[in-house]
Amino acid sequence: QGKPVTSLAAVAYEAGKPLSLEEITVDVPKAHEVRIQIKKTAICHTDAYTLSGADPEGSFPCILGHEGAGIVESVGEGVTNVKPGDHVVALYTAECGKCKFCRSGKTNLCGAVRATQGKGVMPDGTSRFKNKNGEPLLHFMGCSTFSEYTVVADVSVVAVDPTAPLESACLLGCGVTTGYGAAVKTADVQKGDTVAIFGAGTVGLSVAQGAKARGASQIILIDINDSKKKYMNEFGATAYINPTKDLKEDETIVSKLIEMTGGGLDFTFDCTGNVKVMRDALESCHKGWGVSVVIGVAASGQEISTRPFQLVTGRIWKGSAFGGIKGRSEMGGLVKDYQKGSLKVDEFITNRRPFVEIDEGFRDLHTGDSLRTVLTF
């Protein structure tokens, strides 16, 4: 029987307040739970969004972080998919293989731990984290990677090839997989298709590399921050437009894209989370068949709109979570693609910091040309 461990963690006590770096206690994993020693974690906008208080579902105090990789330290009873010593990636989109969602073959969403994950607790309704006053701390997105040790459900973790660097594996826990999967799975881009991507962050640039892998004929990146332009060639984009500068007086981003593609795009992707951009993305799709994929997470309370005639005339609006990727069955393939060199991952690491610099890591999110900051425990 294992023992509780002490762990360095960044605790989010209250929305809008700084993180508190402190030693917490991480309990032993119960049945069907896995305790992971996190080695590398990246910071994503969802962590910042929840910390800011803008997320109405954010509950505090909690341990944020959902893009992380590490080594299994111990497992609870009944765990068969991973063992101590395995290199693993935490999954905010679980895969149980048994629920209605998993069996449908139609989605990567899984219902197994959905209700408790949303409440910040483990499937038995309790937390494995407490601070030095014995106060319980909530989990986040089923991962909580801003702690050197974390406990996750066995359905929320996947073992990966130990020869893959953990700093690369951790990025497959969210941003890279989300964009790449949205292109190759959700949209299923085909050779010769035209693609426009709104937002050239890690997610948008990963859509670009997925579209390139599929042989798209045009891959147009749209961003309002010109410091993103320098990434366009590396990830396969064929054109870059800054709608705040590159449009003539009588042009809109929609009219420009329709003109550049002789009628509109086969596929567009929103990777900004801005609902006005989502509308432009839909309306720049080709009449009759163009598909627009919403990936960006809009702020609470925002709604999308368009004239219904846009849909009547054959444009399709859809969404994608974690790129439509089933974490446990498909992560191994992504790691292989990375190892073969056909999936770029390391190129997204623009900043590396020790975990104690997590505050600076959050600040990196707001510097224009930063893609991902990876923190090391």
- The footprint of ligand DAO (CB under 6 A) covers 44, 46, 66, 93, 109, 114, 174, 297, 321
Only one residue has tokens 């627009």, namely: 292
Residues in touch with ligand NAD (CB under 6 A): 44-46, 174-175, 178, 198-204, 222-225, 228, 271-274, 277, 295-297, 320-322
174 carries an active-site annotation: yes
Smallest gap from Cβ 309 to ligand DAO, in A, equals: 29
d(CA 226, CA 8) in angstroms, rounded, equals 38
Nearest residue to ligand NAD, scored by beta-carbon proximity: 201
Sign of CA dihedral 312, 280, 50, 55: negative
102 carries an active-site annotation: yes
By CB under 5 A, the residues from 100 to 129 that bind Zn ion are: 102, 110, 112
Comparing CB distances to ligand DAO, the nearer of 109 and 213 is 109
- Asked if residue 22 lies in contact with residue 71, where contact means CB atoms within 8 angstroms, the answer is no
286 carries an active-site annotation: no
Comparing CB distances to ligand NAD, the nearer of 72 and 203 is 203
- Asked if residue 236 lies in contact with residue 179, where contact means CB atoms within 8 angstroms, the answer is no
Question: Is omega for the bond preceding 123 within 30 degrees of 0, making it cis?
Answer: no
67 carries an active-site annotation: yes
Smallest gap from Cβ 276 to Zn ion, in A, equals: 35
Residue 114 binds: one of ligand DAO, ligand NAD, Zn ion, none (C-beta under 5 to 8 A by kind): ligand DAO
d(CA 236, CA 253) in angstroms, rounded, equals 21
62 carries an active-site annotation: no
Q: Is 345 helix (H, G, I), strand (E, B) or coil?
A: coil
**CA 328 → CA 84, 322, 333, distances in Å?**
17, 12, 10
Residue 172 binds: one of Zn ion, ligand NAD, ligand DAO, none (C-beta under 5 to 8 A by kind): none
Cβ within 8 Å of residue 68, ≥6 positions away: 38, 40, 41, 42, 89, 90, 143, 145, 150, 170, 173
Residue 120 binds: one of ligand NAD, Zn ion, ligand DAO, none (C-beta under 5 to 8 A by kind): none
46 carries an active-site annotation: yes
Cβ within 8 Å of residue 18, ≥6 positions away: 359
Of the residues 35, 73, 96, 170, only one is catalytic, namely 96
Smallest gap from Cβ 69 to ligand NAD, in A, equals: 16
**Other Cβ atoms within 10 Å of 129 Cβ, number:** 26
Comparing CB distances to ligand DAO, the nearer of 174 and 253 is 174
Q: Is 376 helix (H, G, I), strand (E, B) or coil?
A: strand
103 carries an active-site annotation: no
Residue 109 binds: one of ligand NAD, Zn ion, ligand DAO, none (C-beta under 5 to 8 A by kind): ligand DAO
Comparing CB distances to Zn ion, the nearer of 102 and 220 is 102
Smallest gap from Cβ 160 to ligand NAD, in A, equals: 19
Closest CA to 142 of 124, 161, 120: 120
257 binds Zn ion (CB under 5 A): no
**3-state helix vs strand vs coil in the chain, percent to 5:** 30, 25, 45
> Which sequence positions are flagged as catalytic?
44-46, 66-67, 96, 99, 102, 110, 114, 174, 372
The residues that touch Zn ion, with contacts defined as CB under 5 A, are 96, 99, 102, 110, 112
